[in-house]
């Protein structure tokens, strides 16, 4: 029998209440041992009472508690929840009593893991629980909610079913190797392979959007001193909601800020901290720009359009070449000294926008360009769910590769039975997304990243 587990499910700190969750066959017995309800405890009814030390009889806290019998609980096991006062002392003492009464401290993610093992959630749904908890924007939250509701799982299951059908078809065609049956089989096989492959491409096309909505779009602001990098950062921060994060700046020389741009978390790195006068430090500035750009999904390359271009502008352009860049011609409120063609030649292929960080002009257009960029993949993919998880993306790509291999065998005129291995591998990779064919280590790995009490 599984052990009964317990943990504090709310953050440790000062709160109105704090919740201790207990899950497993012993939940009710343990609850009754540490909690004295004022009236008889009824299932699914909150009861008022006292948490007491069963050995000394001492009162530890005033609390509310509920017992939820299996299977209609988060873990599908018997669950007890005790709502203490939200102090670390009350929670710590109560948890200790629960543990002394026979529960074991839950590992991070263990409640959700049990929900998965007991079939309440599939693996991708379980993963979305963590995303729900850590979502930083409403868009990220609703994406996680969609995944919890099984949008991605549903799509993946449908694709697996078609591959299974194909596997059955391949098995049958082996038994009837006549010419005309074979021809029909090849046509049908090609059709299924291609359509599943196309669905996978569609899902994969959403992966960048999904990742960005979840983790944020990393933007590096680069440009020589005094072009207006700090002014732009400040203008954006004043206009938009700043996101409070715990991501520390990578170096003393750069400032990192997060803001919510219409649901897109923007993680901005400004290299303005570098003050350059000497040649050596100038080179450092260019080096820093290169480093910041390397890490970024998008580079804002600022130039001061009110002054002729300088050698330094060209050096920084060189440093960020090859990255996706927005070339921002700042100080559009002043008389212009840089022609657009001249600026465009600096960074061929970059999107060019005129802005004034000071007057907050052009920021709306900038925002629209960012949005278009982030949603590009997802828009092509119609109403498909967004893939927002690196693990899912890798598995979808691996499945797509197997199908490509199968298609190559087919068009090379190979016998149908040779395709079976690739098709089965694709079916298995997709099953790892939902956890149906995932190995124990993968499942362990997924839940290891959870927080305590979830
Ligand atoms: P950084 O060194 O690149 O961070 O540049 P700053 O943001 O410190 O700006 C340098 C100077 O340019 C400051 O005096 C700003 O007030 C000024 N500045 C920045 N953006 C604009 C703009 O759009 N228009 C005008 N007229 N001045 C600006």
Residue 357 in contact with ligand 1 by CB distance below 6 A: yes
Cα-to-centroid distance, 226 and ligand 1 (Å): 6
Ligand 1 atom nearest 233 alpha carbon? 7
Residue 63: pLDDT band (50, 70, 90) is: very high
Which part of the chain has CATH 3.40.50.300? 216-380
Residue 15 in contact with ligand 1 by CB distance below 6 A: no
Phi, psi of 40 (to 5 degrees): -55, 135
Task: Return the closest-CA partner of residue 111 out of 144, 60, 143, 74.
Answer: 74
How many helices (H) and strands (E) would you count in the chain?
A: 16, 14
Cα-to-centroid distance, 290 and ligand 1 (Å): 22
CB distance 245 to 269 below 8 Å: no
Hey, is 17 helix, strand or coil?
A: strand
Residue 440: pLDDT band (50, 70, 90) is: confident
According to DSSP, the residues that pair with 81 across neighbouring strands are 21, 66
- The average pLDDT across 412-428 equals 93
Residue 147 in contact with ligand 1 by CB distance below 6 A: no
Task: Return the closest-CA partner of residue 122 out of 446, 387, 450.
Answer: 446
Which part of the chain has CATH 3.30.1360.120? 5-106
CB distance 7 to 81 below 8 Å: no
Looking at 28-37, 136-145, 332-341, 365-374, which range is the least confident one?
A: 136-145
Residue 272 in contact with ligand 1 by CB distance below 6 A: yes
**Tens-digit pLDDT profile for residues 104-160:** 999 999 999 999 999 999 999 999 998 898 887 888 888 899 999 999 999 999 999
Burial of 397 (0-12, 13-18, 19+ CB in 10 A): middle
Torsion-angle region of 247 (φ positive above 0: left; ψ -120 to 50: alpha; else: beta): beta
Residue 190 in contact with ligand 1 by CB distance below 6 A: no
Phi, psi of 104 (to 5 degrees): -110, 145
Cα-to-centroid distance, 231 and ligand 1 (Å): 6
**Residue 151 and residue 403: Cα distance in Å, rounded?**
23
Hey, is 105 helix, strand or coil?
A: strand
Residue 254 in contact with ligand 1 by CB distance below 6 A: no
CB distance 392 to 143 below 8 Å: no
CB distance 86 to 58 below 8 Å: no
Ligand 1 atom nearest 302 alpha carbon? 3
According to DSSP, the residues that pair with 48 across neighbouring strands are 64
Residue 332: pLDDT band (50, 70, 90) is: very high
Looking at 3-12, 16-25, 230-239, 277-286, which range is the least confident one?
A: 277-286
Cα-to-centroid distance, 262 and ligand 1 (Å): 25
Residue 197 in contact with ligand 1 by CB distance below 6 A: no
Phi, psi of 115 (to 5 degrees): -60, -40
The third-level CATH classification (topology) of the domain covering 5-106 is Gyrase A; domain 2 (3.30.1360)
**Tens-digit pLDDT profile for residues 66-98:** 999 999 999 999 999 999 999 999 999 999 999
Looking at 12-21, 34-43, 179-188, 381-390, which range is the least confident one?
A: 179-188
- The average pLDDT across 240-261 equals 59
Cα-to-centroid distance, 216 and ligand 1 (Å): 26
- Per-residue pLDDT at 244 exceeds 70: no
The third-level CATH classification (topology) of the domain covering 216-380 is Rossmann fold (3.40.50)
Structure tokens at 12: 């440790």
Residue 273 in contact with ligand 1 by CB distance below 6 A: no
This prediction's pTM: 0.76
Ligand 1 atom nearest 355 alpha carbon? 23
By residue count, the chain amounts to: 454
**Residue 410 and residue 237: Cα distance in Å, rounded?**
55
- From residue 166, how far is each of 389, 423, 433 by CA, in Å? 28, 8, 20
* Pocket perturbation via mutation, ligand 1, pick of 227, 230, 231 by most ligand atoms within 8 A of CB: 231
Torsion-angle region of 325 (φ positive above 0: left; ψ -120 to 50: alpha; else: beta): beta
- The average pLDDT across 376-394 equals 82
The Cα diameter of the chain in Å comes to 85
- Per-residue pLDDT at 260 exceeds 90: no
Ligand 1 atom nearest 231 alpha carbon? 7
- The average pLDDT across 266-288 equals 65
**Pairing between strand 217-222 and 264-270?**
parallel
Cα-to-centroid distance, 333 and ligand 1 (Å): 11
Residue with CA closest to ligand 1 atom 24: 331
Structure tokens at 332: 């559009």
Residue with CA closest to ligand 1 atom 15: 228
Burial of 179 (0-12, 13-18, 19+ CB in 10 A): exposed
CATH architecture assignment, domain 126-206+386-448: Up-down Bundle (1.20)
**Tens-digit pLDDT profile for residues 181-237:** 666 688 989 999 999 999 999 999 999 888 888 888 999 999 988 899 988 988 998
Residue 307 in contact with ligand 1 by CB distance below 6 A: no
Which part of the chain has CATH 1.20.120.430? 126-206+386-448
Q: What is the mean pLDDT of the chain?
A: 88
Q: 10 Å Cβ neighbour count for 84?
A: 26
Residues 6+ apart with CB under 8 A from 213: 137, 139, 140, 143, 263, 264, 265, 374, 386, 388
């Amino acid at each position: 029998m599984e052990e009964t587990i317990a943990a504090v499910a709310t953050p440790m700190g000062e709160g109105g209440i704090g919740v201790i969750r207990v899950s497993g066959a012993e939940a009710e017995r343990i609850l009754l041992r540490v909690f004295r309800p004022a009236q008889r405890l009824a299932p699914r009814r909150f009861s008022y009472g006292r948490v007491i030390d069963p050995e000394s009889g001492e009162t530890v806290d005033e609390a509310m508690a509920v017992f939820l019998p299996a299977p209609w609980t988060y873990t599908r096991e018997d669950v007890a929840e005790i709502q203490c006062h939200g102090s670390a002392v009350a929670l710590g003492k109560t948890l200790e009593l629960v543990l002394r009464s026979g529960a074991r401290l839950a590992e991070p993610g263990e409640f959700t893991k049990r929900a998965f093992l007991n079939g309440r959630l599939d693996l991708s749904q379980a993963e979305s629980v963590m995303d729900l908890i850590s979502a930083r924007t409403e868009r990220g939250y609703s994406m996680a909610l969609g995944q919890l509701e099984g949008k991605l799982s549903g799509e993946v299951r449908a694709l697996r079913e078609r591959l299974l059908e194909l596997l059955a078809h391949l098995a049958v065609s082996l038994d009837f190797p006549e010419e005309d049956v074979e021809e029909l089989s090849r046509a049908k096989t090609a059709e299924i392979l291609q359509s599943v492959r196309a669905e996978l491409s569609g899902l994969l096309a959403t992966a960048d959007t999904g990742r960005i909505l979840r983790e944020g779009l990393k933007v590096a602001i680069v440009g020589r001193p005094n072009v207006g990098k700090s002014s732009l950062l400040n203008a954006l921060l004043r206009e938009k909601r700043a996101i409070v994060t715990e991501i520390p700046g990578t170096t003393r020389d750069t400032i990192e800020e997060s803001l919510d741009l219409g649901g897109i978390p923007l993680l901005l790195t400004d290299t303005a901290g570098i003050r350059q006068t000497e040649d050596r430090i100038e080179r450092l500035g260019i080096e820093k720009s290169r480093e910041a750009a390397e890490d970024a999904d998008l580079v804002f390359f600022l130039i001061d359009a009110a002054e002729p271009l300088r050698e330094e502008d060209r050096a920084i352009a060189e440093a960020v070449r090859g990255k996706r860049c927005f070339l921002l011609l700042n100080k559009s409120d002043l008389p212009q000294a840089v022609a657009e063609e001249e600026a465009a030649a600096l960074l061929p292929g970059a999107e060019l926008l005129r802005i004034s960080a000071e007057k907050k002009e052009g920021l709306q257009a900038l925002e629209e360009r960012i949005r278009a960029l982030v949603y590009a993949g997802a828009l092509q993919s119609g109403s498909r769910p967004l893939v927002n998880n690196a693990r899912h993306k890798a598995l979808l790509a691996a499945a797509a590769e197997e199908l490509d291999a199968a298609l190559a065998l087919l068009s090379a005129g190979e016998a149908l039975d040779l395709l079976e291995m690739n098709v089965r591998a694709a079916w298995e990779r997709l099953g790892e997304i939902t956890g149906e064919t995932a190995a124990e280590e993968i499942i362990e790995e997924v839940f290891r990243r959870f927080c305590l009490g979830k």
